[in-house]
Amino acid sequence: MKRMIEQGPRVVIVGAGFGGLLAARALRRAPVQVTVVDRYNHHLFQPLLYQVATSVLSPGDITAPIRRVLRSPNTRVLLTEAHSVDTQRKVLVCDAGELPYDVLVLATGATHSYFGHPEWAEHAPGLKTVDDALEIRRRVLLAFEAAEREPDPVRQQEWLTFVVIGGGATGVELAGALADLTHITLRKEFRRIDPTSARILLIEGLPRVLTAFPEQLSERARRDLQKRGVEVWTGAMVTGVDAQGVQVGDKRIQAHTMLWGAGVAASPLMRSLGMPLDKAGRLKVEPTLTAPGREDIYVIGDVASLQQDGHPVPGVAPAAMQMGKHVARNIRRQVKGQPLLPFRYKDKGSFAVIGRGAAVGVTLRQKLKLTGWSAYLGWAGIHVFFLIGFRNRVSVMLEWLYYFLTKRREVRLITGGVHHELPAIAPLPSEATRAQQEAPAH
């Protein structure tokens, strides 16, 4: 045990994602008492979560215990869910108690948005938490097991149909990884089904995928996906999702496995501030990253909306990390009685992966566009570099090396019970033949 240093203003940070974690780390020697609140006990490196969902990495490879990362004597970590902020009394209300603050940092991130159709969520899970990734992994792996057991060829094909909704980075990465999983890894492992006949659809409402990237890279991503056998539907609006498939305008796709990468909305905690939010539920912050008119509340990452040079600062990990560090700087200044500094986002580039050896990326102020292997290696290097902790870096690199050399995805664990209704076992073909041959004898 380390006793806490009990001096200085109480800084309460809500959320230990990229923004919150970096703010807390940058305050570890500041003359303040930091409390970090999160509903999970681990920090998650979300950009690699799709690799947990598709059996390349283990959850432990891309997470770190928040307590271990933030073990400075001025910091305590509490596992609890924050429900609301009482700005009058300066108190954060959590699921089992209240935390008074002098300075509050809201870094609670985004959640899925189903465009007013919350009933779609159970059929098309999204990918934000470790539990989400394990659920997706379970559904994808079970679908192949169910198909192998299914005697009816039509129903078999339904089990082998995977629909990814949303053509942003998450959707593209999931669709590409599913293609590699089915066409490379599982190719030889079944007796009745041909995993390479799996149908993978990526559905995007806008005219192109990866709209955050230049058009030319969207085109390249589409071609790379198609080369891998992914059907890319753009300008296609999903109008219905149920347990048996997806409705896209007048087209019906029968499927058992739907994944959601389409909409995000700011965490609902923001609503309790009683301040006007934008359509996505975010708060428009001052350039100093404080809430309008309140220097005791900082809002960063995916819950903040900020314009810079006429463009919105994007809701990506590097922006959240830079904001977290900036907030720590401003809090130190506040303690010294200095005025707050405005934040400036430095765009160092961004990448999206399609699959083994295929990615797109822009860097150097959008001047350098990368595709194929160069983008893939750039992406891999940056992601390993920014992982929290030496152990995670080594283990992710080794898992990638192994996957790279063998094409095997080994973390193919179905855990958490069999929720799907799996079909009846079909007899072996020879058994069917035998039964037919024996039938006349009766």
Question: At 44, which helix (H) or strand (E)?
Answer: strand 42-44
Verify binding: residue 415, a copy of itself, rule CB under 8 A. Answer: yes
**Residue 67 neighbours by CB distance under 10 Å:** 16
Q: Which of 135, 148, 173, 399 is catalytic?
A: 173
Contact window for a copy of itself (CB under 8 A) among 95-103, 117-125, 224-232, 295-303: 95-103
The residues near 12 (Cβ < 8 Å, ≥ 6 apart) are 34, 35, 37, 92, 99, 101, 103, 104, 105
Q: Where are the beta strands (DSSP E) in 338-434?
A: 350-355, 358-363, 368-371
Residue of 321, 370, 393, 428 whose CA lies nearest to 15: 321
9 lies in the site for a copy of itself, by CB under 8 A = no
Q: Is 335 in the site for a copy of itself (CB under 8 A)?
A: no
Q: Is 98 labeled as catalytic in the residue annotation?
A: no
H helix intervals, 309-354: 317-336
The reply on whether position 196 binds a copy of itself by CB under 8 A is yes
Piece in contact with a copy of itself (CB under 8 A), picked from 54-62, 120-128, 230-238, 290-298:
54-62
Position 195 contacts a copy of itself (CB under 8 A)? yes
Confirm or reject binding of residue 214 to a copy of itself (CB under 8 A): no
Among 22, 32, 49, 130, binds a copy of itself (CB under 8 A): 130
Residue 58 binds to a copy of itself (criterion: CB under 8 A)? yes
Amino acid at 270: M
Map the footprint of a copy of itself across residues 154-193, applying CB under 8 A: 187-193
Q: Using the minimum distance from each CB to a copy of itself, give the nearer residue, 89 or 348.
A: 89
Interface size with a copy of itself, residues (CB under 8 A): 80
- C-beta of 73 vs 249, nearer to a copy of itself: 73
- Stated as kind and residue range, the H or E segment containing 303 is none
The first and second tokens of residue 318, run together, are: 């590097």
- Quick one: 142 or 303, whose CB is closer to a copy of itself? 142
Q: What is the DSSP letter of 185?
A: I
Residues in the chain, total: 442
Place of tokens 């069999």: 418
Stretch of residues binding a copy of itself (CB under 8 A), selected from 250-258, 306-314, 325-333, 414-422: 414-422
Position 316 contacts a copy of itself (CB under 8 A): no
Ordered DSSP codes for 45-105: -GGGHHHHHTTSS-GGGGEEEHHHHT--TTEEEEE--EEEEETTTTEEEETTEEEE-SEEE
Which CB sits closer to a copy of itself, 79 or 368? 79
Active site residue ranges: 173
